C-alpha cells in the first residue's frame, strides 16, 4: 500500500478550509475594527471602538500562521514521536510552572508569557504538545487499551498540565486538555461502557449538583430522580461488563455513590460567593451584568441577524459596542449579525469539513501515531468550535475559549495552524507511516 | 505488534464513523440553536436590538390654557427649570454636595438623604429643586461642567396670573402619585408618576380636555447610553383651550368686594342661560403656591385655618336663605290661593304670638297690615309667618324644590352641596311624629330654621324668578378650542327646564322684588341705580357663631333680566349692607358709569326674629 505523494505537496483538503476560515476571520476582524461610521462617536471620544491595529496585528499573525502550516507540513511528523514528544512535554511543563512562579505578565493572571512586543499563551501551545505526547504514548503502548494501566498512564500525562493551567487560572483550557483524553483513548480501543463506568463518579457528582441547585438542597427534585435512574443504569452496565474486574466495577460503583452523597454536603458547606460562582457558570442569566450580559447581547446580535444578516460592516450591535469581546471570544456573534444564518452555516460548514477530513485521515493513516495525531487535532477543533459557538448562542457557559482561526489572538492561531499543517503532513505521508 | 496496534480496516472505518457521528451531533445542536435564534425567533431579537440601540424620551405636552369669556388668561404655563441629580453622586462625587447645597440653600446631608431615598426606590435621578430662580440657573449653568450628575431640565409650570381670583373655581394641578396611577384608570399610557393632573375645580373637571398629548423623541445610543442622533420625532400636541363663561372684570369686581367683607361668596349668572359670569369665594388662596410641590407648612396652615380658605363657599357652603326665601313663599301662597294680590293678613305689631311664644318681626315698630307686594318689599316677617302657617311645610317645600333647592344644580364643577329642604316627612324623621310644631313652619317661612341653601342655588332661584320660570343648568364652560384655535366644542346656550309658575303670581312677586330697591319703604332702596331698574331681596340670617350672615339676591334689568346675582357675606349683619355690591356688579356689567356707593356697614333695618 504505497500511496506516497498521492495528493501532491500541500493537500487542499486541509489547507483550503483552513485558509477560508482564516480569510473569513480577517474579514470579520476588519468589520469589528471599522469605525462606527454612521453612528457617530461617543461624546467622550471613540474609546469604545476597537482599534484598527488589532486587524493589522491579526494580519501579521495570519502570515505567521501560514508559515506554521508550512512548518507543520514539511517536517516529517514522525520525528515528534517518542523522545521528542517527551522533550516537548517536559519543556512545556517547565514553561507552565515558570509561568506560575513568575509574577503575572499581563493582567492579574498567569496566562501570558510576554517576550518583548510579543505575548504568547503557553497553554495554547501546550495543547499541541499534549496531542503529540498522548499520540506518541498511546501509539507506543502495546497493552490492553481497557486496562487500568492504560488509564493511569494517560491520566498521569494529562493531569499535571491540567492542574497547572487551572492555577493560572484558565478553566476553559484546562477542560480542553482533559477532553483530549477521551477521543484519543477511544480511538485506541477504549470501550464506551468502560469509559462510562470510569467517569461515573464525575457524572454522578454533576447530576447531584444539578439536583441540589434546582431543588434548593432540600426535598428530592427531578435531579435526584435522574441520579437514581443513572445509578440503576450504571449498576446494570457494570453487571453486564465482564471484561472489567469485579473489584474495579464495585470500586467505581461505590465511588459514584460516595460522590453523589458527598456533593450536597460540600455544596452546603460552601460560602455563598463560592456557590454563586458555580451557579453563574451553569446559568449566566443569574449574573445579568457580567457573563449574563455578554450572553444576552451576543444572542441579540446573532438573533437579529436573521437569515441573511445585516450585511458586511452593517452590524449595529457590534458597531455600537453592545457586543463584548467582539474581536476575540465573541467574533462568531459578529458573523451571525452581519451574515445571518447563511453566514453562520458557512462558517460551521468550513469547520465541519476540516474536522471530518481529520477523522477520515485517521482512518487512512497507517501508523497509530499519525492516526492519533489526526484524531486529537480534529477533536480539539470540534471542542473549541462547539464550546465557543455554543457560548455565543447561550448553550455553553462563558469559558473564554477562542474560535480557532477567527478570534483575535496569535497563540491559538499559530498553534492551530501548525496542527493543520501536521494533518497535511500525515495526509501526505499516510501510506508511508 | 500486538493485536491492539494493527487494527483492521473495518475497525478503523467504524471508529471514523463514530467520531464523525459525534461531530455531526454536536454541530447539529449548534445548527438547530442557530436556526431557532436566527430564523424562528429573529423578530424578537430584532426588536431587542432596537431596544438596545434606541432610547425614547418623552416630550411633555403643555397643558391647555384656561381663559375667561373674552379670552383673558386665567391659567397658563410658564417655563420653569428644575435641577435633578443622579442618585449615585453622594458616593461618587461627594465633594460637589456642599457646592450644590450652597447654591440651592439646603445642606449636604439633606441632598445625600434625598438621593439615598431615591436610590432605594430604584430611581436613577432625584429632583433637587423644582423651580430654580433665575440667579440659581445662572450660577448652576456656569458651574455645570464641575458638577457631574447634575442636570437642569426645563418644564412647564402651571401658573395662574390672576392669583387668588376665582381660585376655588379654577382649582389647581398636582403631581400624579402612585396610588392614582393604577386604580383611577389613568393608566401608564397617558400619565406617569409626577405628571400634572387637575386636583380641584375646573382643572379637575376638564382634565381630559386640558391635558395634551405628549410627544416623543427616539434617539440612537451606544452601549454607554450616550445619545448619538435623533431618529424619530413626534411633536407633542398641547391641551385644548378652555374658555370659561366667567368675565374677568366682573369677577374681579365681585372678588374685591367680598375680600373687603372678609368671608362669603357671590355668583353672577346669565339670567337667560345660566352661565356663570362671575363667581368668587372668600377667603381665598393663591393656587400658584400649590404648584410644583406644596410646601407642607403652607398646606397645613391652609387646611387648619379656621376661616377655611380652601372651602368653596359658592357651591359647597350652605346657609339659611333668610328673607331671600320669602319670594318663593309669596309665590306659593299666591298660586295656592292662600292669599290674593290685595289680601291683608293680620297686622304686624312687631311680632306675632304662637301659643306661649312670641315670634318677632325684624322691625319692632311693626309694619301694620300689608299686602303681598309690600310684604316682600318691606320683608315683613309677620306676614310670612301667617302665609307659611296657611301653606303648611309641604307646600313650601314643594315650591322650594320646584326652583331647584335641595338638589344639586349640575354646575360643571365637582362636589356641589345639595342643601336641605325640610318637609313634614323630614320633620317626622328628625323629631318624631307630632314632636314638631308650627314654630318650625314659621321659621322656614322666613328662610330660617332647618332650611339650607347654597349661594349657587339662590342665584338660580332668582334667575328663574327673573326670567319667568326657566331653570337653566348653571355652567362654567363657554367653549373649547384646540391648540390651533379650531373650535372643538362650541358654545351652546340653553334656557333649561321651565319651573311651573303661575304667571300672575310671578308678576306680583317680581313687583315686590322691584319695590325692594325702588319702593319708598324697600329694604334696599339705598342701593338703587338711577339709570336702570333692578329687583332683589335682602336677607339676614341669625347664626350661632357670631354676627348675622347677610344675603342679597337680585336681578337686572327688573323687567327682562339679563343677569341674576346671589351674594352671601358671613357675619355681614345686614342684607342691605351688601346690596351695594349688587348695585356695583350691575353698574359694571351694563357699563352704566354710576358712582359706586361708599363701602361699609349701614344702619340696621332687617334683623331676624329669634327662635329657640
Find, in chain B, the residue whose alpha carbon is nearest to that of A317. B49
- Asked if the C-beta of B23 comes within 8 angstroms of chain A's C-beta atoms, the answer is yes
Task: Give percent of chain B with pLDDT exceeding 70.
Answer: 92
Segment A228-250 shows an average pLDDT of: 82
Burial of A366 (0-12, 13-18, 19+ CB in 10 A): middle
- Considering the domain architecture, whether residues B18 and B155 belong to the same structural domain is answered as no
Q: Name the strand (E) or helix (H) holding B568.
A: strand B563-569
Could you tell me if A395 and B30 are in contact, meaning their C-beta atoms sit under 8 angstroms apart?
yes
CATH code for the domain in which residue B510 is found: 3.40.710.10
CB contact under 8 A, B223 and A322: yes
A267-293: per-residue pLDDT in tens?
888 777 777 777 777 776 666 666 677
- Considering the domain architecture, whether residues B341 and B445 belong to the same structural domain is answered as yes
Instruction: Please report which confidence band the pLDDT of residue A319 belongs to, taking 50, 70 and 90 as the band edges.
Output: low
Residue A129 has pLDDT above 60, yes or no: yes
Q: Which position has the higher pLDDT, A151 or B255? A: B255
- Considering the domain architecture, whether residues B121 and B25 belong to the same structural domain is answered as no
- Considering the domain architecture, whether residues B406 and B283 belong to the same structural domain is answered as yes
- Considering the domain architecture, whether residues B269 and B360 belong to the same structural domain is answered as yes
Residues in chain B: 612
Cell of B124: 436613577
CA angle B118–B124–B128, rounded 5-degree value: 55
Return the pLDDT at B612: 37
B445-489: per-residue pLDDT in tens?
999 989 999 999 999 999 999 998 899 999 999 999 988 888 989
A323 vs A295: CA distance, rounded Å: 9
User: Would you list the DSSP string of A277-314?
Assistant: HHHHHH-GGG-TTTHHHHHHHHHHHHHHHTTT-S-TT-
B232's CB contacts (< 8 A; 6+ apart) are B216, B217, B218
Return the pLDDT at B295: 73
A36 vs A159: CA distance, rounded Å: 46
CB contact under 8 A, A345 and B42: no
B303 belongs to a structural domain = no
- Considering the domain architecture, whether residues B437 and B564 belong to the same structural domain is answered as yes
A31 belongs to a structural domain = yes
Instruction: Please report which confidence band the pLDDT of residue B3 belongs to, taking 50, 70 and 90 as the band edges.
Output: very low
Task: Give percent of chain A with pLDDT exceeding 70.
Answer: 88
Return the pLDDT at B608: 46
Put residue A350 in one of left, alpha, beta given phi > 0 → left and psi -120 to 50 → alpha: alpha
Q: Which of B23, B223, B229 sits opposite A355 (nearest CB)?
A: B23
Of B527, B502, B500, B503, nearest to B514 by C-alpha is B527
Segment A212-218 shows an average pLDDT of: 68
- Considering the domain architecture, whether residues B566 and B424 belong to the same structural domain is answered as yes
Task: Give percent of chain A with pLDDT exceeding 90.
Answer: 34
A47 belongs to a structural domain = no
Segment A166-179 shows an average pLDDT of: 87
Tell me the residue range of the domain where B99 lies. Answer: 78-160
- Asked if the C-beta of B15 comes within 8 angstroms of chain A's C-beta atoms, the answer is yes
- Considering the domain architecture, whether residues B23 and B116 belong to the same structural domain is answered as no
189-228 of B, contacting A, C-beta below 8 A: 220-224, 226-228
Return the pLDDT at B188: 43
31-60 of B, contacting A, C-beta below 8 A: 31, 33-35, 37-39, 41-42, 44-46, 48-49, 52-53
Segment B305-333 shows an average pLDDT of: 92
- Considering the domain architecture, whether residues B477 and B531 belong to the same structural domain is answered as yes
Segment B192-210 shows an average pLDDT of: 86
B381 belongs to a structural domain = yes
Of B349, B423, B321, B335, nearest to B387 by C-alpha is B335
CA distance B2 to chain A (A): 6
Minimum mean pLDDT range among A235-239, A251-255, A303-307, B169-173: A235-239
Helix A368-392 vs helix A291-305: crossing angle, to nearest 10: 90
Q: Considering only CB atoms, which chain B residues are within 8 Å of A355?
A: 23
Tell me the residue range of the domain where A140 lies. Answer: 13-37+53-428
A45 belongs to a structural domain = no
Return the pLDDT at A433: 58
B578 vs B362: CA distance, rounded Å: 18
- Cα dihedral B521, B523, B529, B533, rounded to 10, equals -70
Could you tell me if B270 and B562 are in contact, meaning their C-beta atoms sit under 8 angstroms apart?
yes
Return the pLDDT at B7: 60
B522-562: per-residue pLDDT in tens?
888 889 898 999 999 999 998 888 888 999 999 989 999 99
- Considering the domain architecture, whether residues B472 and B530 belong to the same structural domain is answered as yes
As for how many domains chain B has, the answer is 3
B26-53: per-residue pLDDT in tens?
999 999 999 999 999 888 888 888 777 7
List Cα–Cα distances, B156 to B77, B81, B221, B283, in angstroms: 5, 8, 27, 28
CB contact under 8 A, B38 and A48: no
As for how many domains chain A has, the answer is 1
B87 belongs to a structural domain = yes
Return the pLDDT at A130: 95
B20 vs B22: CA distance, rounded Å: 5
Return the pLDDT at A375: 95
CATH code for the domain in which residue B113 is found: 3.90.1310.10
Cell of A90: 517536559
A375 belongs to a structural domain = yes
Cell of A147: 486496562
A35-74: per-residue pLDDT in tens?
654 444 444 444 456 777 888 889 999 999 999 999 998 8
Segment B128-145 shows an average pLDDT of: 84
CB contact under 8 A, A356 and B23: yes
Return the pLDDT at B47: 84
B181 belongs to a structural domain = no
A85 belongs to a structural domain = yes
Cell of A232: 440503576
A176 vs B533: CA distance, rounded Å: 108
Return the pLDDT at B293: 65
End-to-end C-alpha distance for chain A, whole angstroms: 11
Task: Map residue B104 onto helix, strand or coil.
Answer: helix
Mean pLDDT over the full length of chain B: 86
B611 belongs to a structural domain = no
CB contact under 8 A, A359 and B226: no
B504 belongs to a structural domain = yes
Could you tell me if B452 and B319 are in contact, meaning their C-beta atoms sit under 8 angstroms apart?
yes
Q: Considering only CB atoms, which chain A residues are within 8 Å of B25?
A: none
Q: Which of A300, A382, A394 sits opposite B23 (nearest CB)?
A: A382
CB contact under 8 A, B15 and A363: yes
Mean pLDDT over the full length of chain A: 84
B63 vs B68: CA distance, rounded Å: 16
- Considering the domain architecture, whether residues B114 and B263 belong to the same structural domain is answered as no
B contact test, residue of A359, A362, A401 with most B CBs within 10 A: A359
Amino acid at each position: 500500500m504505497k500511496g506516497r505523494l498521492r495528493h501532491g505537496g500541500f493537500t487542499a483538503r486541509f489547507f483550503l478550509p483552513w485558509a477560508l476560515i482564516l480569510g473569513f476571520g480577517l474579514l470579520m476582524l476588519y468589520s469589528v475594527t471599522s469605525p462606527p461610521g454612521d453612528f457617530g462617536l461617543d461624546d467622550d471620544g471613540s474609546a469604545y471602538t476597537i482599534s484598527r491595529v488589532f486587524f493589522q496585528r491579526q494580519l501579521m499573525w495570519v502570515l505567521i500562521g501560514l508559515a506554521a502550516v508550512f512548518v507543520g507540513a514539511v517536517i516529517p511528523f514522525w520525528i515528534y514521536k517518542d523522545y521528542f514528544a517527551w522533550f516537548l512535554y517536559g519543556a512545556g511543563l517547565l514553561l507552565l510552572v515558570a509561568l506560575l512562579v513568575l509574577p503575572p505578565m499581563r493582567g492579574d493572571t498567569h496566562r501570558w508569557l510576554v517576550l518583548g512586543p510579543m505575548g504568547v499563551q503557553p497553554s495554547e501551545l501546550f495543547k499541541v504538545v499534549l496531542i503529540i505526547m498522548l499520540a506518541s504514548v498511546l501509539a507506543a503502548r502495546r497493552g490492553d487499551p481497557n486496562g487500568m494501566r492504560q488509564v493511569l498512564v494517560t491520566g498521569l500525562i494529562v493531569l499535571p498540565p491540567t492542574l497547572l493551567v487551572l492555577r493560572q487560572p484558565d478553566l476553559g483550557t484546562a477542560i480542553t486538555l482533559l477532553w483530549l483524553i477521551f477521543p484519543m483513548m477511544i480511538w485506541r480501543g477504549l470501550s464506551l461502557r468502560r469509559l462510562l463506568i470510569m467517569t461515573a463518579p464525575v457524572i454522578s457528582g454533576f447530576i447531584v449538583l444539578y439536583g441540589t441547585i434546582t431543588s434548593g438542597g432540600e426535598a428530592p427534585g427531578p435531579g435526584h430522580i435522574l441520579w437514581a435512574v443513572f445509578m440503576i443504569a450504571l449498576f446494570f452496565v457494570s453487571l453486564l461488563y465482564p471484561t472489567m474486574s469485579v473489584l474495579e466495577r464495585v470500586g467505581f460503583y461505590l465511588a459514584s455513590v460516595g460522590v453523589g452523597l458527598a456533593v450536597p454536603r460540600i455544596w452546603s458547606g460552601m460560602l455563598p460567593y463560592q456557590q454563586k460562582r458555580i451557579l453563574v457558570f451553569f446559568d449566566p442569566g443569574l449574573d445579568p451584568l457580567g457573563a449574563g450580559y455578554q450572553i444576552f447581547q451576543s444572542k441579540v446580535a446573532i438573533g437579529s441577524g436573521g437569515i441573511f444578516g445585516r450585511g458586511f460592516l452593517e452590524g449595529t450591535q457590534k458597531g455600537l459596542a453592545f457586543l463584548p469581546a467582539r474581536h476575540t471570544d465573541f467574533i462568531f456573534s459578529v458573523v451571525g449579525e452581519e451574515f445571518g444564518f447563511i453566514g453562520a452555516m458557512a462558517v460551521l460548514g468550513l469547520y465541519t469539513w476540516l474536522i471530518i477530513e481529520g477523522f477520515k485521515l485517521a482512518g487512512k493513516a497507517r501508523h497509530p501515531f499519525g492516526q492519533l495525531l489526526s484524531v486529537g487535532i480534529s477533536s480539539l477543533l470540534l471542542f473549541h468550535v462547539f464550546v465557543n459557538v455554543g457560548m455565543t448562542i447561550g448553550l455553553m457557559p462563558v469559558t473564554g475559549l477562542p474560535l480557532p482561526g477567527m478570534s483575535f489572538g496569535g497563540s491559538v492561531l499559530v498553534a492551530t495552524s501548525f496542527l493543520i499543517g501536521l494533518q497535511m503532513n500525515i495526509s501526505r505521508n499516510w501510506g508511508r507511516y | 505488534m500486538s493485536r491492539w496496534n494493527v487494527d483492521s480496516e473495518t475497525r478503523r472505518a467504524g471508529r471514523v464513523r463514530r467520531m464523525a457521528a459525534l461531530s455531526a451531533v454536536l454541530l447539529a445542536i449548534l445548527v438547530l440553536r442557530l436556526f431557532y435564534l436566527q430564523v424562528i425567533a429573529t423578530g424578537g431579537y430584532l426588536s431587542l436590538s432596537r431596544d438596545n440601540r434606541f432610547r425614547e424620551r418623552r416630550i411633555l405636552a403643555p397643558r391647555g390654557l384656561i381663559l375667561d369669556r373674552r379670552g383673558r388668561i386665567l391659567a397658563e404655563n410658564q417655563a420653569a427649570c428644575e435641577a435633578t441629580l443622579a442618585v449615585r453622586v453622594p458616593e461618587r462625587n461627594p465633594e460637589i454636595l456642599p457646592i450644590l447645597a450652597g447654591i440651592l440653600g439646603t445642606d449636604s446631608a439633606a441632598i445625600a438623604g434625598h438621593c439615598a431615598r431615591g436610590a432605594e426606590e430604584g430611581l436613577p435621578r432625584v429632583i433637587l429643586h423644582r423651580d430654580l430662580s433665575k440667579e440659581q440657573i445662572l450660577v448652576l449653568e456656569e458651574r455645570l461642567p464641575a458638577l457631574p450628575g447634575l442636570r437642569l431640565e426645563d418644564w412647564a409650570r402651571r401658573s395662574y396670573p390672576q392669583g387668588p381670583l376665582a381660585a376655588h373655581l379654577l382649582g389647581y394641578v398636582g403631581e400624579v402619585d402612585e396610588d392614582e396611577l393604577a386604580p383611577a384608570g389613568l393608566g401608564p399610557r397617558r400619565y406617569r408618576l409626577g405628571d400634572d393632573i387637575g386636583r380641584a375645580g375646573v382643572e379637575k373637571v376638564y382634565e381630559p380636555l386640558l391635558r395634551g398629548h405628549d410627544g416623543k423623541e427616539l434617539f440612537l445610543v451606544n452601549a454607554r447610553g450616550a445619545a448619538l442622533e435623533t431618529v424619530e420625532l413626534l411633536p407633542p400636541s398641547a391641551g385644548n383651550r378652555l374658555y370659561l363663561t366667567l368675565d374677568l372684570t366682573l369677577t374681579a369686581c365681585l372678588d374685591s368686594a367680598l375680600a373687603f367683607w372678609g368671608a362669603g361668596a357671590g355668583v353672577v349668572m346669565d339670567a337667560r342661560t345660566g352661565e356663570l359670569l362671575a363667581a368668587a369665594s372668600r377667603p381665598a388662596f393663591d393656587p400658584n403656591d400649590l404648584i410644583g410641590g406644596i410646601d407642607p407648612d403652607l398646606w397645613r396652615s391652609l387646611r387648619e385655618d379656621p376661616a377655611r380658605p380652601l372651602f368653596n363657599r359658592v357651591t359647597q357652603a350652605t346657609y339659611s336663605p333668610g328673607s331671600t326665601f320669602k319670594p318663593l313663599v309669596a309665590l306659593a301662597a299666591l298660586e295656592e290661593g292662600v292669599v290674593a294680590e290685595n289680601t291683608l293678613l293680620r297686622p304686624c305689631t312687631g311680632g306675632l304670638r304662637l301659643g306661649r311664644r312670641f315670634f318677632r318681626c325684624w322691625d319692632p315698630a311693626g309694619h301694620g297690615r300689608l299686602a303681598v307686594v309690600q310684604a316682600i318689599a318691606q320683608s315683613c316677617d309677620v306676614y310670612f309667618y301667617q302665609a307659611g302657617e296657611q301653606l303648611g311645610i309641604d307646600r313650601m317645600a314643594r315650591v322650594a324644590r320646584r326652583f331647584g333647592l335641595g338638589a344639586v344644580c349640575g354646575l360643571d364643577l365637582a362636589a356641589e352641596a345639595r342643601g336641605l329642604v325640610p318637609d313634614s316627612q323630614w320633620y317626622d324623621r328628625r323629631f318624631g311624629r307630632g314632636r314638631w310644631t308650627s314654630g318650625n313652619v314659621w321659621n322656614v317661612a322666613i328662610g330660617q330654621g332647618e332650611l339650607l341653601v347654597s349661594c349657587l342655588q339662590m342665584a338660580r332661584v332668582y334667575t328663574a324668578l327673573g326670567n319667568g320660570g326657566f331653570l337653566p343648568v348653571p355652567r362654567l364652560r363657554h367653549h373649547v378650542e384646540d391648540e390651533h384655535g379650531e373650535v372643538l366644542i362650541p358654545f351652546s346656550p340653553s334656557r333649561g327646564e321651565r319651573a311651573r309658575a303661575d304667571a300672575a303670581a310671578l308678576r306680583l312677586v317680581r313687583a315686590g322684588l322691584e319695590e325692594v330697591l325702588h319702593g319708598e319703604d324697600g329694604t334696599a332702596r339705598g342701593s338703587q341705580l338711577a339709570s336702570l331698574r333692578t329687583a332683589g331681596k335682602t336677607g339676614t340670617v341669625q347664626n350661632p357663631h357670631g354676627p348675622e350672615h347677610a344675603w342679597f339676591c337680585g336681578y337686572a334689568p327688573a323687567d327682562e333680566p339679563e343677569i341674576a346675582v346671589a351674594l352671601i357675606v358671613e357675619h355681614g349683619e345686614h342684607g342691605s349692607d351688601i346690596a351695594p355690591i349688587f348695585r356695583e356688579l350691575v353698574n359694571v356689567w351694563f357699563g352704566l358709569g354710576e358712582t359706586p356707593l361708599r363701602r361699609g356697614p349701614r344702619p340696621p333695618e332687617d334683623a331676624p326674629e329669634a327662635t329657640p
